[in-house]
Amino acid sequence: MKVKVISRSTDEFTRERSQDLQKVFRNYDPNIRSQERAVEYTRALKAAKLEKIFARPFIGAMDGHIDAVSCMAKNPNHLNGIFSGSVDGDIRLWSLTSRKTVCHFPGHQGNVRGLSVSTDGETLVSCGTDSTVRLWTVPDYRNKSAGESAGNAVAPIAVYVWKHAFWDVDHQWGQNIFATVGAQVDIWDHDRSEPVNTFKWGNDTFISVRFNPGEPDLFATTSSDRSIILYDLRMSSPARKLIMKTRCNSLSWNPMEPMNFTAANEDTNCYSYDARKMDEPKCVHADHVSAVMDIDYSPTGREFVTGSYDRTVRIFNYNGDHSKEIYHTKRMQRVFCVKYTCDGSYVISGSDDTNLRLWKAKASEQLGILLPRERRKQEYLDAVKDRYKHLPEVRRIVRHRHLPKPIYKAANLRRTMIGAERKKDQRRRAHSAPGSMPVQPFRKRRIIKEEE
Amino acid sequence: METEKLKVGAEHGKFEELDPKAKKYLRGDGANLEALLDKKLKGQLSVKEKLFGQSAKAAAMTEKWLMPTEHGYLEAEGLEKTWRIKQETILQEVDIISSRQPFDMVLKDLGPYKVEYTLSGRYMLVGGRKGHLALIDLITMNLIKEFQVRETLRDVVFLHNEQFFAVAQKKYPYIYNGHGTEIHCLKEHGAPLRLQFLDKHFLLVSINKLGQLHYQDVTTGEIVANYRTGLGRTDVMRVNPYNSIISLGHVGGKVTMWKPTASKPLVTMLCHHGPVTAIAFHRSGHLMATAGVDRKIKLWDIRKFQALRTYSGHAQSLDFSQKGLLAMSNGSQVQIWRDSGENHYYRRYMSHSMAKGYQVGKVCFRPYEDVLGIGHSMGITSILVPGSGEPNFDSWVANPYETKQQRREKEVHSLLDKLQPETIMLDPTKIGTVKPLRKKERPNRAEAEAELDAVVEKAKSITFKNKTKGRSKPSKKAKKKEEAVLKAKRTLGEHLQAEERPFKKLKPDGADLPKSLQRFAKKKAS
**DSSP code string of A87-113:** TTS-EEEEETTTTEEEEE-----S-EE
Rounded distance, CA B288 to CA B257, Å? Answer: 12
Check if the beta carbon of residue B321 is closer than 8 Å to that of residue B117: no
> Which of A10, A12, A35 has the highest number of chain B CBs within 10 A, making it the mutation to test binding with B?
A35
Closest C-alpha to A286, from A331, A244, A316: A316
Q: Which helix (H) or strand (E) holds B308?
A: strand B306-312
pLDDT for the residue numbered B510 = 63
Entry field: residues in chain B? 526
> Which of B27, B64, B259, B397 has the highest number of chain A CBs within 10 A, making it the mutation to test binding with A?
B397
Indicate yes or no: CB of A31 within 8 angstroms of CB of B284: yes
Q: Which residue of A has its CA nearest to B400?
A: A13
Mind listing the pLDDT tens digit for each residue in B410-453? 999 999 999 999 999 999 988 888 777 766 666 777 888 888 88
Q: Chain B: give the shortest CA distance to residue A403, in Å.
A: 30
Sign of CA dihedral B268, B273, B274, B275: negative
Contact list in A for residue B368 (CB cut-off 8 A) is 6
Rounded distance, CA A383 to CA A43, Å? Answer: 10
With 60 as the cut, is the pLDDT of residue B2 above it?
no
Rounded distance, CA A21 to CA A31, Å? Answer: 28
Mind listing the pLDDT tens digit for each residue in B288-342? 999 999 999 999 999 999 999 999 999 999 999 999 999 999 999 999 999 987 7
Backbone angles phi, psi at B506, to 5 degrees: -85, -30
Burial class of residue B433 (count of CB atoms within 10 Å of its CB; 0-12, 13-18, 19+):
exposed
Contact list in B for residue A387 (CB cut-off 8 A) is 432
Crossing angle between the packed helical segments A36-53 and A392-399, to the nearest 10 degrees = 10
Q: For chain B, count helices (H), then strands (E).
A: 9, 29
pLDDT for the residue numbered B517 = 77
Contact list in A for residue B97 (CB cut-off 8 A) is 7-9
> What are the CA-CA distances from residue A191 to residues A76, A91, A135, B228 (Å)?
21, 22, 10, 93
User: DSSP assignment, residue B420?
Assistant: P
Mind listing the pLDDT tens digit for each residue in A212-240? 999 999 999 999 999 999 999 999 899 99
Check if the beta carbon of residue A162 is closer than 8 Å to that of residue A195: yes
pLDDT for the residue numbered A207 = 95
**Of the partner residues B25, B93, B283, the one whose CB lies closest to the CB of residue A28:** B25
Burial class of residue A355 (count of CB atoms within 10 Å of its CB; 0-12, 13-18, 19+):
buried
With 80 as the cut, is the pLDDT of residue B200 above it?
yes
User: DSSP assignment, residue A130?
Assistant: T
With 90 as the cut, is the pLDDT of residue B503 above it?
no
Amino acid at A257: E
3-state DSSP call for residue B10?
Answer: helix
Q: Which residue of A has its CA nearest to B83?
A: A1
**Of the partner residues B59, B73, B394, the one whose CB lies closest to the CB of residue A25:** B394
Rounded distance, CA A54 to CA A45, Å? Answer: 14
pLDDT for the residue numbered A271 = 97
Stronger pLDDT, B9 or A6, i.e. the higher one: A6
Rounded distance, CA A313 to CA A220, Å? Answer: 24
Indicate yes or no: CB of B419 within 8 angstroms of CB of A42: yes
Stronger pLDDT, A121 or B473, i.e. the higher one: A121
Rounded distance, CA A31 to CA B439, Å? Answer: 33
Backbone angles phi, psi at B265, to 5 degrees: -65, 145
Mind listing the pLDDT tens digit for each residue in A368-391? 899 999 999 999 999 999 999 999
pLDDT for the residue numbered B4 = 41
Contact list in B for residue A22 (CB cut-off 8 A) is 403, 406
Rounded distance, CA B114 to CA B158, Å? Answer: 12
pLDDT for the residue numbered A144 = 60
Rounded distance, CA A323 to CA A318, Å? Answer: 10
pLDDT for the residue numbered B68 = 81
Closest C-alpha to B108, from B341, B297, B355: B355
Task: Name the H helices within B345-440.
Answer: 404-416
pLDDT for the residue numbered B8 = 42
Q: Which residue of A has its CA nearest to B383?
A: A5
User: DSSP assignment, residue A277?
Assistant: B
Q: Burial letters for B390-404: b for 16+ Cβ neighbours within 10 Å, e otherwise?
A: bbbbbbeebbbbbee
Mind listing the pLDDT tens digit for each residue in A13-55? 999 998 999 999 999 998 899 999 999 999 999 999 999 999 9
**Of the partner residues B73, B283, B392, the one whose CB lies closest to the CB of residue A25:** B392
CA angle B208, B241, B352 (to 5 degrees): 85
The DSSP bridge partners found for residue A283 are: A272
The residues, any chain, with a CB within 8 Å of residue A73's CB and separated by 6 or more, are A82, A83, A84, A115, A116, A117, A124, A339
Closest C-alpha to A427, from A415, A413, A412, A437: A437
Closest C-alpha to A103, from A145, A59, A160: A145
Rounded distance, CA A396 to CA A44, Å? Answer: 12
Could you please report the per-residue DSSP string of A402-436?
---HHHHHHHHHHHHHHHHHHHHHHHHHHTS-TTS
pLDDT for the residue numbered A70 = 96
Q: How many CB pairs under 8 A join A and B?
A: 146
With 60 as the cut, is the pLDDT of residue A148 above it?
no
Q: Which residue of B has its CA nearest to A385?
A: B432
Check if the beta carbon of residue B391 is closer than 8 Å to that of residue B69: yes
Q: What is the mean pLDDT of residues A396-410?
A: 95
Contact list in B for residue A43 (CB cut-off 8 A) is 417
Closest C-alpha to B354, from B378, B373, B332, B383: B332
Confidence of residue B516 (pLDDT cuts 50, 70, 90): confident
Sign of CA dihedral A194, A196, A199, A200: positive
Predicted ipTM > 0.90 = no
pLDDT for the residue numbered A145 = 55
Backbone angles phi, psi at A305, to 5 degrees: -115, 145
Mean pLDDT of chain B: 88
Rounded distance, CA B71 to CA B78, Å? Answer: 23
Stronger pLDDT, B506 or B154, i.e. the higher one: B154
The residues, any chain, with a CB within 8 Å of residue B443's CB and separated by 6 or more, are B451, B496
Closest C-alpha to A252, from A241, A263, A267: A263
Confidence of residue B5 (pLDDT cuts 50, 70, 90): very low
Burial class of residue A220 (count of CB atoms within 10 Å of its CB; 0-12, 13-18, 19+):
buried
Share above pLDDT 70 across residues of chain B, in percent, rounded to a whole number: 91
Backbone angles phi, psi at A15, to 5 degrees: -75, 155
With 60 as the cut, is the pLDDT of residue B13 above it?
no
CA angle B393, B396, B401 (to 5 degrees): 60
Q: Chain B: give the shortest CA distance to residue A15, in Å.
A: 10
Confidence of residue B261 (pLDDT cuts 50, 70, 90): very high
Report the largest interatomic distance among the alpha carbons of chain B, rounded to a whole angstrom. 111
Q: Which residue of B has its CA nearest to A4?
A: B72
Q: Chain A: give the shortest CA distance to residue B51, in Å.
A: 14
Confidence of residue B496 (pLDDT cuts 50, 70, 90): low
pLDDT for the residue numbered B440 = 63
Rounded distance, CA A112 to CA A84, Å? Answer: 9
**Of the partner residues A7, A24, A36, the one whose CB lies closest to the CB of residue B97:** A7
Check if the beta carbon of residue B401 is closer than 8 Å to that of residue B407: no
Going by their DSSP bridges, the two strands A269-274 and A283-286 should be labelled as antiparallel
Burial class of residue B526 (count of CB atoms within 10 Å of its CB; 0-12, 13-18, 19+):
exposed
Q: Which helix (H) or strand (E) holds A4?
A: strand A2-4
Going by their DSSP bridges, the two strands B103-106 and B317-320 should be labelled as unpaired
Q: Chain A: give the shortest CA distance to residue B327, in Å.
A: 17
Backbone angles phi, psi at A273, to 5 degrees: -115, 155
Mind listing the pLDDT tens digit for each residue in B105-119? 999 999 899 999 999
pLDDT for the residue numbered B520 = 73
Q: What is the mean pLDDT of residues A262-286?
A: 95
With 70 as the cut, is the pLDDT of residue A272 above it?
yes
Entry field: residues in chain A? 452
Burial class of residue A261 (count of CB atoms within 10 Å of its CB; 0-12, 13-18, 19+):
buried
Mind listing the pLDDT tens digit for each residue in B161-180? 999 999 999 999 999 999 99
Burial class of residue A344 (count of CB atoms within 10 Å of its CB; 0-12, 13-18, 19+):
middle
Rounded distance, CA B319 to CA B389, Å? Answer: 12
Check if the beta carbon of residue A5 is closer than 8 Å to that of residue B384: yes
Check if the beta carbon of residue A99 is closer than 8 Å to that of residue A72: no
User: DSSP assignment, residue B385?
Assistant: -
pLDDT for the residue numbered B499 = 61
pLDDT for the residue numbered B7 = 42
Q: Peptide bond preceding B112: is omega within 30 degrees of 0, i.e. cis? A: yes
Indicate yes or no: CB of B391 within 8 angstroms of CB of A6: yes
Stronger pLDDT, B144 or B36, i.e. the higher one: B144
